[in-house]
């Protein structure tokens, strides 16, 4: 089952036309990832490098935008996991407008697991792997 959060579209998220400026979607995705780590891994994402000695940088991203989001929308951001390897995880983010069945945007994002310091690939810690596996779709 996918992990979900809700958040409002705020004034700084929109451009002059009144719709969400496309880079802001990536902020929405990252907020969902932060909440995922807090709720599912049991630690703030900012504490991961210090406590687990790893980080999860984005190494690939692909996004399709279908429907504009507007100021005031309370959107649902869904995070699903399609693949977990020893050194990376592939996430599918979908953003839904209120009452809509089809996503307004869908993004595939691959995160690598790297050691901190050192910046070389390393194995995903078991507690993080287990959290990702629980949300595999």
Q: Closest Cα to residue 129, out of 94, 88, 74?
A: 88
CATH T-level assignment (fold) for domain 3-134: Thiol Ester Dehydrase; Chain A (3.10.129)
- Rounded to an integer, what distance in angstroms lies between the CA atom of residue 20 and that of residue 22? 6
Quick one: which of 104, 41, 27, 35 has its CA closest to 69? Answer: 104
Global confidence as pTM:
0.93
Chain segment 80-102, per-residue pLDDT in tens: 999 999 999 999 999 999 899 99
Rounded distance, CA 110 to CA 107, Å?
A: 10
Contacting residues for 60 by C-beta, under 8 A, at least 6 apart: 108, 109, 110
pLDDT in tens, 56-89: 999 999 999 999 999 999 999 999 999 999 999 9
């Amino acid at each position: 089952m996918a992990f979900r959060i809700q958040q409002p579209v705020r004034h700084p998220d929109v451009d002059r036309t009144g719709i969400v400026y496309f880079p802001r979607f990536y902020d929405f995705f990252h907020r969902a990832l932060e909440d995922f780590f807090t709720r599912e891994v049991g630690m703030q994402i900012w504490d991961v490098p210090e406590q687990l000695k790893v980080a999860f940088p984005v190494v690939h991203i692909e996004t399709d935008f279908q429907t504009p989001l507007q100021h005031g929308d309370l959107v649902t951001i869904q995070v699903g996991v399609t693949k977990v390897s020893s050194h990376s995880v592939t996430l599918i983010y979908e953003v839904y407008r209120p009452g809509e069945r089809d996503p307004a945007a869908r993004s595939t994002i691959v995160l690598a697991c790297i050691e901190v310091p050192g910046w070389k690939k390393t194995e995903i810690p078991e507690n993080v792997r287990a959290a990702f596996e629980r949300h595999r779709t």
